[in-house]
Amino acid sequence: MKQLLPIFIIVAAGSFALGSLFSFNLNVIRRPLLQQLFTKPTPAPVDYTKAVLPEAGVQLPVTWGDLGEKLVKTGVIDSAKFTPITDPGRITISAQNAQAVLNTLWAFGLANKNPILDSGPMVDKQYGGAANFASTGGWTIAVGNAMKYYSKYDWVVLTADQQAIVERVSKNIYRPCCDNSTYFPDCNHGMAMLGLLELMVSQGVSESDMYKYALVVNSYWFPDTYLTIAKYLDSQGKTWVKTDPKEILGATYSSSTGYRKIRSQVEPVQQSGGGGCGI
């Protein structure tokens, strides 16, 4: 035991000497590594604009002809207050001209004679008459009172079969500013959409394509809404391009009530553009 004691003293002294020369830190920092292993990276925001609102716009499948001139000539549009689209060819809608397209189609939908205006919800007595809506009383850029032109001109006359298609499709197209379908065109978006449906069916556009292009124009008129809907579809494992336009235009997505439910489930997308239910 006496022989081991000097050896112990030597070892202890050597350890002390090494400790004075070097500093050892045996603490292992594990947290950052664990965070990297178990924390999911924040995904980059998805830009839905390319699919929903193409920058170059979308050409609609109808020719406008001389309807712009007729709207001015008859006084439905006072050219001193607004210049309608007068290009006789096909209309291309984009973020830049969406309001002009809306106003021009609104004027046409208001003035073109159609049974939906003559005997549909617009003239239901419970609502006090057709003059009391945003789509009629709100049309303030006519020469005189807008009701002078309500369902007055036989510019686009539909066959019975074509009218049946317009009525069927119009009942399935909603707009997020209210809970009414296009069959009840009480605001500018509804009246403009009715006009577009009349033009499309009269020029041989198929029913499925009518929904396709109706969704296009609704998207440019309500950009925030439809970008948010695209985001919601993505969160549900769906995609904008593969979802049936008829489904998106229905009450579940495109009515004000339906869209509020969607907004409660995803953060809304903010996009400049669009407009309200007036001039």
pLDDT, tens only, 156-208: 999 999 999 999 999 999 999 999 999 999 999 999 999 999 999 999 999 99
Which pLDDT score is estimated for 212? 98
Q: How far apart are CA 109 and CA 117, in angstroms?
A: 9
- What phi and psi values does residue 112 have, to the nearest 5 degrees? -75, 130
137 and 65 within one domain:
yes
Tell whether 94 is covered by a domain: yes
**Mean pLDDT to the nearest integer, 147-153:** 98
Q: Is 11 in the same domain as 105?
A: no
For every residue of 194-222, DSSP letters joined together read: HHHHHHHHHTT--HHHHHHHHHHHHHHHS
Same domain for 25 and 83:
no
What does the DSSP 8-state code read for residue 148? Answer: G
Q: In sequence order, what are the beta bridge partners of 90?
A: 63
8 Å CB contact between 274 and 95: no
Read off the pLDDT of residues 255-266 as tens digits, 9 standing for 90 and up.
Answer: 999 999 999 999
> In angstroms, what CA-CA distances link 139 with 72, 148, 192?
14, 11, 12
User: Both 15 and 101 in a single domain?
Assistant: no
pLDDT at residue 35 greater than cutoff 90: no
Q: Domain check: are 215 and 126 in the same one?
A: yes
Find the helix or strand (DSSP H, E) in which 14 lies: helix 4-21
pLDDT band at 29 (very low <50, low <70, confident <90, very high): very low
Residues 28 and 54 in one domain: no
Overall domain count for the chain:
2
Residue 278 inside a domain? The answer is no
**247 and 155, same domain (yes or no):** yes
Whether residue 43 lies inside any domain: the answer is: no
Contact call for residues 84 and 77 (beta carbons, < 8 A):
yes
In sign, the C-alpha dihedral spanning 141, 146, 151, 152 is negative
- In this prediction, residues 115-139 reach a mean pLDDT of 96
Summarize the chain as % helix, strand, coil (round to 5). Answer: 50, 5, 45
Verify that 208 and 135 share a domain, yes or no. Answer: yes
Judgement on whether residues 123 and 242 belong to the same structural domain of the protein = yes
Does residue 273 sit within a domain?
Answer: no
Is the distance from CB of 135 to CB of 107 less than 8 angstroms?
A: no
Q: State mean pLDDT over 18-44.
A: 51
DSSP 224-254: HHHHHHHHHHHHTT--TTTS-HHHHHSHHHH
pLDDT over threshold 60, residue 26: no
Nearest to 276 by CA among 78, 135, 110: 135
pLDDT value at position 42? 57
Q: Judge whether 211 lies within some domain.
A: yes
Rg of the chain in Å (alpha carbons): 32
Read off the amino acid at residue 255: S
SS3 51: helix
272, part of any domain: no
CA dihedral 206, 207, 210, 212 (to 10 degrees): -100
Q: Write down the pTM of the prediction.
A: 0.83
- For residue 275, is it within any domain? no
Residue range 60-100, pLDDT digits in tens: 999 999 999 999 999 999 999 999 999 999 999 999 999 99
- Digit-coded pLDDT (tens) for 215-265: 999 999 999 999 999 999 999 999 999 999 999 999 999 999 999 999 999
Q: What are phi and psi of 48, to 5 degrees?
A: -95, 0
- Which residue range forms the structural domain that includes residue 212? 49-263
Angle (nearest 5°) at CA 122 between 121 and 128: 105
- Asked whether residue 240 is domain-assigned, the answer is yes
The answer on pLDDT for 8 being more than 50 is no
> Same domain for 60 and 89?
yes
Q: Are residues 8 and 95 in the same domain?
A: no
Q: Are residues 78 and 197 located together in one domain of the fold?
A: yes
